[in-house]
Amino acid sequence: MKILLVLAAVGLCWAQYNPHTKPGRTSIVHLFEWRWADIALECERYLGPNGFGGVQISPPSENIIITNPWRPWWERYQPVSYKLCTRSGNEDEFRNMVTRCNNVGVHIYVDAVVNHMCGAGAGSGSGGTCGSYFNAQTEDFPAVPFSGWDFNDGKCKTGSGEIENYNDPYQVRDCRLVSLLDLALEKDYVRSKIAEYMNYLIDIGVAGFRIDASKHMWPGDMKAFLDKLKNLNTQWFSSGSKPFIYQEVIDLGGEPIKSSENWGEGWGLMPSDKALVFVDNHDNQRGHGAGGASVLTFWDPRQYKMATGFMLAHPYGFTRVMSSFWWPRDFQNGKDINDWVGPPSFEDGTTKPVTINPDTTCGNDWVCEHRWRQIRNMVIFRNVVDGQPFSNWWDNNSNQVAFGRGNKGFIVFNNDDWYMNINLNTGLPAGTYCDVISGQKEGNHCTGIQVHIGADGVANFQISNQAEDPFIAIHVDAKL
């Protein structure tokens, strides 16, 4: 399988690996740049009923408003305060979302931007999403408050103050990342302000945090502010629960998944209980960060659905599904010059709502991969087979592979250029099953391919290389 999955380190410098998803829920979805009001609705009408465990949200802290280019997605990663108002919504809408999602068993994970403030060239004024005053030139952020004392200018040893050599860990952690004002995280005051922000969110009811730009912080500094965090809100979490922390320290593992059944810990990857696994994220689907052209995204839907299916069927790691928005790609000299484009929005820059079409897909240029039948049904598959061992691996020494999850589920892929016709031991009880990729079980009938398993656990699988989705997945809850 020529598929690349990406891993993020989970809580490496702070032993907090429990995502606190409700029992029977095993995946989260990143609703990138969604409005809080739309996330609340999606939790109630779709994510809760379909077994999603949580939502990673875009940064909720006040950011600078950037108009050149016009309202890019990355303005959300340039904070000017820790007030809760962005183009996704205000604090009341944020609180409403957290409450409504928690109440249907879908938890909220915050993308926390705490390594830096806005860019050094951001000017001054009240150009933040809450209207807070700041002066980037003098490093004055009174709404926090941070002043020039709270930044790393004195520690960085490069002439420009920027990271000039990514192989030098001192530059990577003490200098500015693309001119972003680098916070002095060794100072207890700075650590306390960051912890204060994160604790405010914990009190509201969030379940955890993605720590943005964590490779640009010293592990000891990160541990220091994480040690100041409270336990989770007991209205929704058991007493003594610590927030789930994951850090985007990207490790591509170096190579694609071959016909190799020991992918995961057997490849020397981090232990399964400490890995967050995803096919793509908001950075690398735009060519930012690691991965380059090898990253699969919604732009390659056939391969992308297979990669996501493999990830969700395999027991390794804690899985995150991506939910994107469409933008007008324009490649010039191999680079997408529109990789900055922000979410679907009206002329004044306000984000468009996520509309739902009659066929349950999304409108207004929201891609909503998590609503694609194949991906939603594989999220459910992962829930059904949770706790079952990896079993019954088969491959043809090329790009046809199959494996099971104990006696609960089985999946088969044909990524070759020829027809597949094979009898395989599934490990499942005898009976007729509905393939959840081509369709699904509805009542007592199946809208897709039916798979017949004999008393010996063996079934015949035929998958055309021309099929829209050249893979089949069955599980015990899809037995007819």
Beta pairing, strands 208-211 & 244-251? parallel
Q: How many CB atoms lie within 10 A of CB 390?
A: 18
212 is catalytic: yes
CA distance 249 to 222: 13
In angstroms, the CA 421 to CA 398 distance is 14
Angle, helix 188-204 to helix 91-103, in steps of 10 degrees:
60
What backbone torsions phi and psi does residue 366 show, to the nearest 5 degrees? -85, 125
Please report the sign of the dihedral spanned by the C-alpha atoms of residue 147, residue 148, residue 150, residue 151: positive
Amino acid at 379: V
Burial of 200 (0-12, 13-18, 19+ CB in 10 A): middle
Would you call 289 exposed, middle or buried from its count of C-beta atoms within 10 A (0-12, 13-18, 19+)? middle
Q: Which residues pair with 441 in a beta bridge?
A: 446
Set 38, 150, 212, 369: catalytic member: 212
CA–CA gap between residue 111 and residue 382 (Å, rounded): 24
> Is 248 labeled as catalytic in the residue annotation?
yes
Which tokens belong to 289?
A: 């960060």
**The one catalytic residue among 93, 248, 339, 369:** 248
Q: Report the C-alpha gap between 341 and 323 in whole angstroms.
A: 16
Which residues are tagged catalytic? 212, 248
